[in-house]
Every structure is written in structure tokens, then in C-alpha cells.
């Protein structure tokens, strides 16, 4: 017999010989009848068991509704044997919900603190990139360290003496800016590498960090202004150098000394750049440590 909850495949084999004509016709008729049989598979579940489970679920839902209507307690006339642990389950569910809300608030606060720290780190990196660009610009201008005191004594032109004195002052300003750059990087590292109090983000830590950011921004503006003045003075220095090259017979030894000092200054700038790169690496390491401490 064919049917049931399974798919049945039947192959009808016939012979083309005339001697087997009757058997071929009978086989084809049987195969045609079998082909017309349509099976409808059903789920192998006892209908009585399914109905019983459905009724149990309805009873539990009605008991929950009664609990809500009577303020969390059932009347004495109702038999609560099937759901005697329902009250404890509801209390446990409520405690888990409260704990989940608490954890969600803590996660939101931690995300906000992380965003603030990342913003400050980005500002520090931008300021560092600006300082590196300015130092590279100063290196390209090849600010030299001449023995300006001897040069002033040997020169007779008063205008040249004044220009050389200006260059001398500019060299002092450049040295001061380099020292302040190193100091700013050290302060940034000290601010990034703090103990566990940074993770808690207390109000005092936030105020000190904001004060450092404000002071750093003001110092950046002042340095930008000084660098603009330095660029103007460097243009004046280049004009002075061109004027000095016109007197080759008198200033040739000074030119040699000028070139040597340029090389020495370039070496100092390279060493300063390496120190800054090391400070940047230390700052990045400190940031990773702070993120891991979270």
C-alpha cells in the first residue's frame, strides 16, 4: 500500500516485445493509478497531548493575570499547585531587570567617559602634528647657529650689525620653542599615564585635564604667532645672507663657518625630532595602558 508520512517513488518497467503486451498494459495501468495517489503528510503528534499542553499554558496565563489583578497574591479559593513557584520567579525576574538597568547605566557612563578621553587624545595628537610641521618648516629654513658675537665685532656696517643682532635673538627664541615643545610632550604623557583614578574620572581629574587642554591651546596660539614672526625674520636673514655673499673676499671664512653651523643645526634638529618621536611612542603606549585599565 502507498501513503503515510513519507514520499514514495515507484519505477514501472515495461517490455517493447509483442509477446509481453498484456503485462505491459497491466503495468502501465497500475503505474497510472499509483501516480494519481496524493499523500498529505501530517505532524506525528498525539492530538490529545497537544490539546493538554495548550490547556496548561492557558491556565498559567490566567493565573498570572489573577496575580496582577490581586496585587501579586492569589485568592485562597484558587488552587496554585501547578505554579507554586510563580511568585519567586517573578521576584527573580524583577531583580534581574533592575540589575540589567544598572549595568546599562554603567555601560553608558563608561562609553561617555571613553568618548571624552578619545577626544582629548585626538586633540593632543593634532597639536603634536602641528608642532612637528612647524619644526620641519624651521628645519627647512636652515636656521644656523653662528658665532654672532664675533661677527658683530668684525662687521663695520651698522645696518648689518643690527640684522645680525636680530638673527641672534631669533636663535634664542627657536631654542626656547624647542624646549617648550619637549615640556609640552612630557606634560601630555604625564596626563595620559595616570593611575586608576583616571578610570574613575573624578571631578578634580576632569578639571585638571580641562585646564591642561586650555593652557595647551593658548600656548599653541602663542607659538603660531611667534612662528609667523620668525618666518618674517628669516626672510630678512636670507636677504642679509645674500648681501653678505657679495663680499666674498672679506666674508669667505664666515661663510664656511656658516655652512658648518647649518650642518650642526640640522643634526640637532634631527636629534630633536627623534626625541619627539620617542615621546609620541611613549604617549601611544600610555594610551593603550589606559584603555586596557578600563
Q: Which of 142, 127, 128 is nearest to 230 (CA)?
A: 142
The count of other CB atoms within 10 Å of the CB of residue 234 is 18
- Classify residue 69: in a domain, yes or no: no
| Residue 147 clears pLDDT 60, i.e. is over it | no
Q: Which of 30, 35, 83 is nearest to 61 (CA)?
A: 83
Question: Does 171 lie in the same domain as 25?
Answer: no
Asked whether the beta carbons of 177 and 226 are under 8 A apart, the reply is yes
Cell 503515510 locates to 4
Number of domains composing the chain:
2
For residues 240 and 167, what is the distance between their CA atoms, to the nearest angstrom?
A: 10
Question: Does 268 lie in the same domain as 138?
Answer: yes
For residues 242 and 149, what is the distance between their CA atoms, to the nearest angstrom?
A: 20
Domain range enclosing 29: 1-39
- Classify residue 248: in a domain, yes or no: yes
Coil/strand/helix, residue 180: helix
Question: Does 141 lie in the same domain as 287?
Answer: yes
- Classify residue 229: in a domain, yes or no: yes
Q: pTM value?
A: 0.28
Is residue 109 exposed (0-12), middle (13-18) or buried (19+ Cβ within 10 Å)?
exposed
Predicted confidence (pLDDT) per residue in 5-61, tens digit: 677 788 999 988 989 999 999 999 999 998 888 777 666 667 788 788 888 888 888
- Classify residue 46: in a domain, yes or no: no
- Classify residue 72: in a domain, yes or no: no
**pLDDT of 42:** 66
Average pLDDT over residues 254-270: 75
Q: Which residues contact 215 (CB under 8 A, 6 or more apart)?
A: none
Amino acid at each position: 500500500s502507498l501513503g503515510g508520512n513519507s514520499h514514495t517513488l515507484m519505477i514501472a518497467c515495461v517490455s517493447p516485445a509483442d509477446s509481453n503486451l498484456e503485462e505491459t498494459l497491466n503495468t502501465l495501468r497500475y503505474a497510472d493509478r499509483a501516480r494519481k495517489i496524493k499523500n498529505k503528510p501530517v505532524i506525528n503528534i498525539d492530538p490529545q497531548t497537544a490539546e493538554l499542553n495548550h490547556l496548561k499554558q492557558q491556565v498559567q496565563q490566567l493565573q498570572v493575570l489573577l496575580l496582577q489583578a490581586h496585587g501579586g497574591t492569589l485568592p485562597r479559593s484558587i488552587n496554585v499547585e501547578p505554579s507554586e513557584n510563580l511568585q519567586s520567579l517573578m521576584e527573580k525576574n524583577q531583580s534581574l531587570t533592575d540589575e540589567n538597568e544598572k549595568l546599562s547605566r554603567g555601560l553608558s557612563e563608561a562609553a561617555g567617559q571613553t568618548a571624552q578621553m578619545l577626544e582629548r587624545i585626538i586633540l593632543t595628537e593634532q597639536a603634536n602634528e602641528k608642532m612637528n610641521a612647524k619644526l620641519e618648516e624651521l628645519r627647512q629654513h636652515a636656521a644656523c647657529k653662528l658665532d654672532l658675537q664675533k661677527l658683530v665685532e668684525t662687521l663695520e656696517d651698522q645696518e648689518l650689525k643690527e640684522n645680525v643682532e636680530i638673527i641672534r635673538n631669533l636663535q634664542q627664541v627657536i631654542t626656547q620653542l624647542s624646549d617648550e615643545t619637549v615640556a609640552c610632550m612630557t606634560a601630555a604623557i604625564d596626563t595620559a599615564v595616570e593611575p586608576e583614578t583616571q578610570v574613575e574620572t573624578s571631578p578634580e581629574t576632569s578639571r585638571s585635564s580641562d585646564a591642561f587642554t586650555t593652557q595647551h591651546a593658548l600656548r599653541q596660539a602663542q607659538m603660531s604667532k611667534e612662528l609667523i614672526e620668525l618666518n618674517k625674520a628669516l626672510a630678512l636673514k636670507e636677504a642679509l645672507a645674500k648681501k653678505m655673499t657679495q663680499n666674498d673676499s672679506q666674508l669667505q671664512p664666515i661663510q664656511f663657518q656658516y655652512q658648518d653651523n647649518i650642518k650642526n643645526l640640522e643634526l640637532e634638529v634631527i636629534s630633536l625630532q627623534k626625541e619627539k618621536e620617542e615621546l609620541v611612542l611613549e604617549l601611544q603606549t600610555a594610551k593603550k595602558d589606559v584603555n586596557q585599565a578600563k
